[in-house]
Structure 1
Amino acid sequence: MNKEEILLQKRLTELSRVAYHRGIVTFSDFLNLNELNILHTTPKDQWMTRYETFGGYGFSERQMAAFLPDALYYEYQYPIQAIQITPSSRKFAEELSHRDYLGAVMNLGIERSKIGDILTRDGSAILFVNEDLASYITEQLTRVKHTVVNAAPVFDFREDYQPDYETIKGSVASIRLDTVLSLAFPLSRSKLTSYIEAGRVFVNGKLISSNGYRLKEGDIISVRKMGRILYDGILSETKKGRYMITVRKFR
């Protein structure tokens, strides 16, 4: 690990120590895929508590870690607030991307670690942020690129929300990581292999560098700069021993 990764690991284990000694739940900032991998691969003997992760909805990529003492005597909630961003006038609104929304929020002086996923749909966006910054964002965010917008908190956001996705069905020889990825992404197996070996592929937030990693039903696979898929499982097996499977490719 490099210096920054070592410092992150120390911060996370310190949060676990504080949770243990004070008997309270402590939370990290939003962690990206690399940071989640550090969390998941830190040796168990360095943790003084167990931990869970969540990002505001079940399929989130950027997630906070919650460190939970054994004698937890109260219910807890992650300090995450969903904010909906909509154009004031759809007639004059530009077509805005994830990058546009992220840039507008960070231009308010907000660090990336305080921002979770940004979901774009139908000309608007749902933004997940640290709840301490929610009021500031709803008051100050008035424009994304050249589009005037309104930002308002969403208090009834469903945790089982699913982003838009495409269902893909197909036949594969095995349930290896590389074969399932080749069904979802229009790239050669050799290209996907190079992505895996280069550390660009994560399963459930954990870096996987083996092409032959066997997937389990419900696994979420993230390929950096390409997208995410959910492996739904085997539909049937053919007489020739191939598997008909289905995956969800998130848009």
Structure 2
Amino acid sequence: MEKDEFFLKRIRELANLSYQRDIVTFSDFLNLNEQNMVNSLKSQLPGIVMESSGGYDNAERQMVAFHPDALAFTWEYPIDCLKIEPKAIKFSEDLTHRDYLGALLNLGVDRNVLGDILVQKNAAWFFSSNKMTDFFLKNMCRVRHTNILISKIENPDEFPRPELEAVSGTCASVRLDALIALAFKSSRSSMVPFIEGGHVFVNGKLITSNGYEPKDGDIISVRGKGRFIFDGVSHQTKKGRCSVRILRYI
């Protein structure tokens, strides 16, 4: 509880600083739970606009920007995208998200300066606070036993696109527990503890009701499991069940 109170105090300080000095202030990268706490403060911060970004569309870890509602100048998030690739593909290992994250944290940095890490074959991209870019460029040289090259991506068109896997199935109704069970190939009853335990977020908002009905396009995140996009109901079966489609982040 003390940790949460300290976090919310820091968020209020950033918002007040923005209002008093007529500037844009930024949080660190926030996880889903922290984003949910920030959103709960909106009504307590009149005159301040809160926006968020993780450097690319639908990022999970996001940085929140605070600015006065009548701000008269343009601004950008202090976020850079860096690419990691092996020096020699022939001698590279099959590296995972955990491997890349571990290599970054082993440099002695805090998790809050890092956004999402997107892993594809023989490469990974990660988003970071731009104040850390030079540090990573100079000090990141190996992931596990693989020697790597690291570079800053200047052109947004070269930013990575998350890979999605289409999953289809049927459920009695479009409920949160049913969709999560379908996405992660589990039973509805096994998903209930995740929902009631505060591990499920819809578009960054904490949801604790098993019967919550997501809307088309909602992004559903389950801590410890992954996330997916609810792509809607295609039709009803002869038995009255809903045929649904989801897009799961790989």
Shorter-normalised TM range: over 0.9
How many Å separate the matches in 1 of 2:18 and 2:243?
A: 46
By how many angstroms is 1:163 displaced?
A: 0.8
What's 1:59 paired with? 58
Check 1:240–1:161 CA distance in 2 against 1; reply closer, same or farther (3 A cut).
Answer: farther
How many Å separate the matches in 1 of 2:20 and 2:158?
A: 30
Letter of the 2:94 counterpart: E
Answering whether residue 123 of structure 2 is matched by residue 124 of structure 1, we say yes
TM-score by length of 2: 0.95
Answering whether residue 113 of structure 2 is matched by residue 94 of structure 1, we say no
Farther-moved stretch of structure 1 (239-248 vs 84-93): 239-248
What's 2:249 paired with? 250
Check 1:159–1:207 CA distance in 2 against 1; reply closer, same or farther (3 A cut).
Answer: farther
How many Å separate the matches in 2 of 1:20 and 1:158?
A: 34
How many Å separate the matches in 2 of 1:57 and 1:20?
A: 27
Q: What are the Cα deviations for residues 103-139 of structure 1, in whole angstroms up to 9, with x where unaligned? A: 1111222111000000000121001000111111012
Farther-moved stretch of structure 1 (238-247 vs 111-120): 238-247
Q: How many residues align?
A: 250
Check 1:225–1:76 CA distance in 2 against 1; reply closer, same or farther (3 A cut).
Answer: same
By how many angstroms is 1:180 displaced?
A: 1.1
By how many angstroms is 1:43 displaced?
A: 5.5
Farther-moved stretch of structure 1 (2-11 vs 153-162): 153-162
Unmatched 5+ residue regions in structure 2? none
Q: What are the Cα deviations for residues 44-96 of structure 1, in whole angstroms up to 9, with x where unaligned? A: 12454120111011121100001121111111111100000000001101111
Letter of the 1:27 counterpart: F
Answering whether residue 7 of structure 2 is matched by residue 8 of structure 1, we say yes
Letter of the 1:202 counterpart: F
How many Å separate the matches in 2 of 1:224 and 1:149?
A: 29
By how many angstroms is 1:244 displaced?
A: 2.0
Unmatched 5+ residue regions in structure 1? none
Letter of the 2:175 counterpart: R
Q: Percent identity?
A: 44
TM-score by length of 1: 0.94
Check 1:210–1:55 CA distance in 2 against 1; reply closer, same or farther (3 A cut).
Answer: same
Secondary structure of the 1:28 match is strand
Q: What are the Cα deviations for residues 135-190 of structure 1, in whole angstroms up to 9, with x where unaligned? A: 11012101111110000001113498531111012222222111111221111111
How many Å separate the matches in 2 of 1:159 and 1:40?
A: 31
After superposition, the CA RMSD in angstroms is 1.6
